[in-house]
Amino acid sequence: MAETPNKNALGEEIAQGSQDLPDWSRRQFLFSVGAVTVAGLIGTFGGSTIARAMREIFGSQVETGNIPLYALDYYYIPNYMKWRVGDRITIAFRNRSQSHPGKYHEWVVGRHVNTENTVFGVETQDGFAEDFFDGVYVTLSNPRNVNNFVPNKAIVTYEGQKSLYNIADGGNFSPTLNPDGAVDITFTVPDKPGLWHYGCFVQHYEHYRMGMRGTINIVRA
């Protein structure tokens, strides 16, 4: 049976992450959850319901600066973001798997999910045909429990000890974190407007198929 860690501690961390959000979103965040932690709501209503609620809270305004992104089991918080071309942002990616043993999760951003024709029909494959981070200058920092990192065609600067990132080849730009893993991903939003998608394709793409995905809307200034 899955063992759930201290939900209050997780909720407090997510709430603390809201301190780095713009004033408008921080106020809405605190108003929306009140004295009840996000993790407590997850336990009551389920992850997908809370992820949709977070989209309603954060999705209407452009996010910039430090943006917390939490990977839980088969969903992200938030599962929708809105960025503006030219803004400097840092995705504070954290794996907060609540299962026992914990699951590793990745963050892949792109368009057009790769598929394969099989005897069972068309099935999802590993990642996207178009990688959002191709040609983008990215700085990685504050790594902890990084399972592996694939830079693909991004131009990456590594802060700290490079071996901690466990750099690998193959596939889209993707940081993959072990349970309780963390990494900060800093970049200037490139001139690639429109809708982009993100997901976790680990364990033979099972996480993505189970709903671990989200959407980014990129707008021009």
Whether residue 130 contacts residue 111, with contact meaning beta carbons closer than 8 Å, is answered with yes
Report pLDDT for 98: 87
Q: Residue 216: pLDDT band by 50, 70, 90 thresholds?
A: very high
Higher pLDDT, 160 or 5: 160
Q: Residue 43: pLDDT band by 50, 70, 90 thresholds?
A: low
pLDDT tens figures, 75-106:
999 999 999 999 999 999 999 998 888 999 99
Higher pLDDT, 23 or 9: 9
**2-6, 29-33, 175-179: the lowest-pLDDT one:** 29-33
The domain locations on the chain are 62-219
How many angstroms separate the CA atoms of 7 and 18, rounded? 17
Kind plus residue range of the DSSP H or E element containing 27: helix 23-33
Q: What percent of the chain has pLDDT over 70?
A: 68
Q: What are the distances in angstroms from CA 195 to CA 129, 146, 179? A: 14, 28, 29
Report pLDDT for 32: 37
Average pLDDT, the chain: 81
Report pLDDT for 29: 43
Report pLDDT for 33: 43
Confidence (pTM): 0.75
Q: Is the pLDDT of residue 26 over 90?
A: no
Fold of the domain built from segment(s) 62-219:
Immunoglobulin-like (2.60.40)
pLDDT tens figures, 138-180:
999 999 999 999 999 999 999 999 999 999 998 999 999 999 9
Higher pLDDT, 103 or 3: 103
- For residue 47, the one-letter residue type is G
DSSP for 67-129 reads: EEEEEETTEEESSEEEEETT-EEEEEEEE---SSSPPPEE-EEEEEEEEEEETTEEEEEEEEE
Report pLDDT for 24: 37
Higher pLDDT, 138 or 19: 138
How many angstroms separate the CA atoms of 147 and 163, rounded? 11
pLDDT tens figures, 116-135:
655 555 455 678 999 999 99
Q: Residue 61: pLDDT band by 50, 70, 90 thresholds?
A: confident
- Cβ atoms within 10 Å of 27's Cβ, excluding its own: 12
